[in-house]
């Protein structure tokens, strides 16, 4: 593995690691700022709304100023958000700090995808995304481990300090190692034109909604699992067990996905299989209730995600290769906004099994629609 690819993997894992690191601290944050579990969970929804806006902005900046300046600026903004969280006097300021952090962290997603599209093409790019997908399976586990360690005391400050240190480390490494990959004669596309083109494409909306629904089930778990485990009187080591189970489900899903694709099964069929797995998971979660065994059907969430998401992302923008950077930014904006809405509704609804079942039903309806690309 080249140094460049290794750095790309680290940067694209960064947003997911820092977000899952925040999950074990939610009960502590609720206690520190005297807010309810639902209000604390809303920090996840505002995170993804700001993340969506960040994806659009950094995608535009990657084309205008270059990939390297955009990534460095995004990491800097993330660090400033962590600094603001560290000194937040109340919950409202904390929400603003989380939004700033999310806006900056978004560069780890769109910046890396754009740089990879600069360096690799066609089948080689698909293989690279496969490698990255396998690496991303470790992100929740690493994030949860970090969150458990940092939130092991009675103070929330170590969590914010740890995230700030991570931002500074990544910024330093990127300053030294990150190259500029923008083509010398890159096409200057109008963001507005690309935005309108994608918004008028029903197949893009279909893909964005499906990506958002699968992501909602995963992050709804991170939204509610800490409170479920706390209600069982369990310590935070169980969050690590949950992370291991979800990582195992993701690895298994990635393995099965590669095997089924190699056997000639279509991406659409595998997406249907992911939806079926979501439905099975929802049934298991309903029967498990608030007992510890809920972690086993939750493992299927990760498996379903790992089967469906690569097939959704690989085909979503295949007709937009000439404007891949801008299209990726707009597409990311679309599904991130939908994800933020989904998590806000999840926090309001308050039941992981119901949220998973609703997402599975909506995904099935969405995929069954006979849509054609414009």
CA 77 to chain centre: 18
How many domains does the chain divide into? 1
CA distance 174 to 285: 42
Question: In the Cβ-directed half-sphere of 337, how many Cα atoms lie within 13 Å?
Answer: 12
User: Which 8-state DSSP code applies to residue 369?
Assistant: S
The answer to whether position 373 is within a domain reads: no
Q: Is residue 325 part of a domain?
A: yes
Say if 164 falls within a structural domain: yes
The confidence band for 326, taking pLDDT boundaries of 50, 70 and 90, is confident
In the chain, % of residues over pLDDT 70: 89
Alpha-carbon distance of 36 to 42, in angstroms, equals 10
| Count of CB atoms situated within 10 Å of the CB of 337 | 19
Q: Domain of 42: which CATH number?
A: 1.20.1250.20
| Of residues 134, 120, 107, the one with CA closest to residue 2 | 120
What pLDDT, on the 0 to 100 scale, is given for residue 187? 55
211/189: higher pLDDT: 211
Q: Does residue 286 fall inside a structural domain?
A: yes
Q: Are 325 and 107 in contact (CB under 8 A)?
A: no
pLDDT tens for each residue of 232-278: 655 556 767 777 888 788 888 878 887 888 788 888 899 999 999 99
Share of the chain above pLDDT 90, in %: 22
pLDDT of 374 > 50? The answer is: no
Tokens of 277: 């797995």
Q: Provide mean pLDDT across the span 19-29.
A: 78
Which H or E run contains 42? helix 37-64
Q: Does residue 2 belong to any structural domain of this protein? A: no
Mean pLDDT of the chain, nearest integer = 82
Structural contact between residues 141 and 244, judged by C-beta atoms closer than 8 angstroms: yes
Residue 56: inside a domain:
yes
State the pLDDT at residue 204. 92
Is residue 318 predicted with pLDDT exceeding 80?
Answer: no
- pLDDT at residue 228 is higher than 60: yes
Length of the chain: 374
Q: Which domain holds residue 158?
A: 8-180+189-368
Neighbours of 36 (CB within 10 A): 10
pLDDT tens for each residue of 32-87: 888 887 777 777 678 778 888 898 899 888 878 888 999 999 999 999 999 998 88
On the CB side of 343, CA atoms within 13 Å amount to 28
What is the mean predicted confidence (pLDDT) over 152-166? 81
Give residue 84's pLDDT.
93
374 found inside a domain: no
Predicted local distance difference test score (pLDDT) of residue 245: 83
Comparing CA positions, the residue from 1, 10, 297, 26 lying closest to residue 135 is: 10
Q: Of 47 and 13, which is predicted with more confidence?
A: 13
Judge whether 71 lies within some domain: yes
Cα 19 from Cα 22, distance rounded (Å): 5
Of the pLDDT bands very low, low, confident and very high (cuts 50, 70, 90), residue 365 is very high
Query: Is it the case that residue 176 has pLDDT exceeding 80?
Result: yes
Alpha helices in the chain (DSSP H): 3-22, 26-32, 37-64, 67-86, 91-105, 107-119, 122-136, 138-150, 157-177, 191-199, 202-231, 237-262, 267-288, 295-316, 324-349, 352-368
As a whole number of angstroms, the distance between CA 374 and CA 358 comes to 29
Return the ∠ at Cα 108 (arms to 226 and 1), rounded to 5°.
105
d(CA 325, CA 339): 21
Q: What is the pLDDT of residues 117-141, one digit of tens each?
A: 778 765 566 567 666 766 776 777 7
**pLDDT given at position 123:** 54
Which position has the token pair 């309903």?
286
Checking if the pLDDT of 220 tops 80, the result is yes
Of residues 234, 232, 231, the one with CA closest to residue 148: 234
Element housing 36 (H / E): none
The residue among 276 and 25 whose pLDDT is bigger is 276
178: left (phi over 0), alpha (psi -120 to 50) or beta: beta
pLDDT for position 373? 47
């Amino acid at each position: 593995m080249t140094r460049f690819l290794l750095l790309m993997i680290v940067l694209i894992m960064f947003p997911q690691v820092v977000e899952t690191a925040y999950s074990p601290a939610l009960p502590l944050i609720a206690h520190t700022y005297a807010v309810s579990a639902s209000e604390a969970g809303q920090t996840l929804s505002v995170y993804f709304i700001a993340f969506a806006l960040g994806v659009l902005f950094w995608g535009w900046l990657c084309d205008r100023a270059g990939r390297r300046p955009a990534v460095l600026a995004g990491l800097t903004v993330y660090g400033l958000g962590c600094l603001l969280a560290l000194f937040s006097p109340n919950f409202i300021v904390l929400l603003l700090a989380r939004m700033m952090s999310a806006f900056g962290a978004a560069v780890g997603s769109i910046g890396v995808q754009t740089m990879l599209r600069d360096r690799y093409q066609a089948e080689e790019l698909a293989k690279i995304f496969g490698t990255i997908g396998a690496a991303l399976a470790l992100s929740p586990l690493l994030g949860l481990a970090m969150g458990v360690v940092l939130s092991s005391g009675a103070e929330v400050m170590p969590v914010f300090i740890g995230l700030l240190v991570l931002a500074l480390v990544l910024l330093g490494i990127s300053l030294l190692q990150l190259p500029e990959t923008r083509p010398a004669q890159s096409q200057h596309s109008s963001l507005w034109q690309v935005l309108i083109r994608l918004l008028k494409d029903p197949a893009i909306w279909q893909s964005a909604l499906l990506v958002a629904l699968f992501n909602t089930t995963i992050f709804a778990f991170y939204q509610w699992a800490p409170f479920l485990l706390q209600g069982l009187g369990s310590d935070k080591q169980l969050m690590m067990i949950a992370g291991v189970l979800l990582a195992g489900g993701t690895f298994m899903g990635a393995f099965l996905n590669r095997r089924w694709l190699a056997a000639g099964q279509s991406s659409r069929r595998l997406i249907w299989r992911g939806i079926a797995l979501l439905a099975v998971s929802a049934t298991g979660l309903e029967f498990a209730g608030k007992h510890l065994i809920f972690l086993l059907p939750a493992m299927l969430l990760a498996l379903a995600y790992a089967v469906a998401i690569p097939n959704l992302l690989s085909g979503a923008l295949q007709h937009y290769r000439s404007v891949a950077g801008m299209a990726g930014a707009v597409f990311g904006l679309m599904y991130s906004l939908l994800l933020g809405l989904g998590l806000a509704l999840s926090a309001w609804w308050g039941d992981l099994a119901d949220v998973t079942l609703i997402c599975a039903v909506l995904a099935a309806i969405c995929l069954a629609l006979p849509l054609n690309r414009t």
